[in-house]
Amino acid sequence: MSGESRDHDVWARFEAEALPHADRLFRLAMWFERNRAAAEDAVQETMLKALQSFHRFQPGTNCRAWLVAILQHVLSNRRRAARRSLLVDDVDDRIAAATPFVPAPTQHLTDEELLAALRKLPESFQAVVLLSDVEELTYKEIAAALMIPLGTVMSRLHRGRALLRAEIGKSKMFTTREAGHHAVR
């Protein structure tokens, strides 16, 4: 196969398998960067790295998980460059370890309330919850993407979800009180 046709073949595979995930990658990048230009840069850098190393992607495996892992590395490098260490630290783990059982909320929640509650979690817990519940990655894929042990993924997920339910509970309690207050007035 000539170099040109090989390049064409790589591009065709990349376009079919990797590019369709760009919008999901952007949502993740935008969630963590909170800045459109920075998120676009991160996604573009991710896709460029993915294209350059597409020969390493194993066909038949989860391409989105592979891209998410690259994106997480890109975001992590950017944070390091900005001297923002967002890896989970001991404080986060101590918070998590102290979380009691919290039942799932049964009241109606708006999307805004739910995302606001998620924002209140330590960022490392947001990451595992998002990669599991939104991106539907397996625990093993999350461990690879975040470069943490499988056991840590499981414990952070367990605690992260409990913290999320607790935050929702707090916000709903506040909303109920507010509503009650207004009703009395």
Q: Residue written as tokens 């947001």?
A: 126
Establish if 30 lies at the interface with another protein (CB under 8 A): yes
Give the torsion through C-alpha atoms of 41, 45, 51, 57, to 10 deg.
Answer: -120
Establish if 148 lies at the interface with another protein (CB under 8 A): no
Establish if 90 lies at the interface with another protein (CB under 8 A): no
Establish if 95 lies at the interface with another protein (CB under 8 A): no
85: left (phi over 0), alpha (psi -120 to 50) or beta: beta
Establish if 11 lies at the interface with another protein (CB under 8 A): yes
Cα–Cα distance between 113 and 108 in angstroms, integer? 10
Q: How crowded is the C-beta side of 52, counted as CA atoms within 13 Å?
A: 7
Q: Which one, 58 or 106, has the nearer CB to another protein?
A: 106
CB of 122 to another protein, least distance (A): 17
Q: Which one, 56 or 181, has the nearer CB to another protein?
A: 56
CB of 28 to another protein, least distance (A): 9
| DSSP 3-state percent helix, strand, coil across the chain (nearest 5) | 75, 0, 25
Establish if 62 lies at the interface with another protein (CB under 8 A): no
Cα–Cα distance between 156 and 97 in angstroms, integer? 9
Neighbour tally for 135: CB within 10 Å: 19
Establish if 23 lies at the interface with another protein (CB under 8 A): yes
Q: Which stretches of the chain bind another protein, using CB under 8 A?
A: 3, 7-8, 10-11, 14-15, 19, 22-23, 26-27, 30-31, 36, 40-41, 43-44, 47-48, 51, 101, 103-106, 109, 111-112, 114-115, 118, 129-130, 132-134, 136, 138-139, 154, 157-158, 161, 164-165, 168
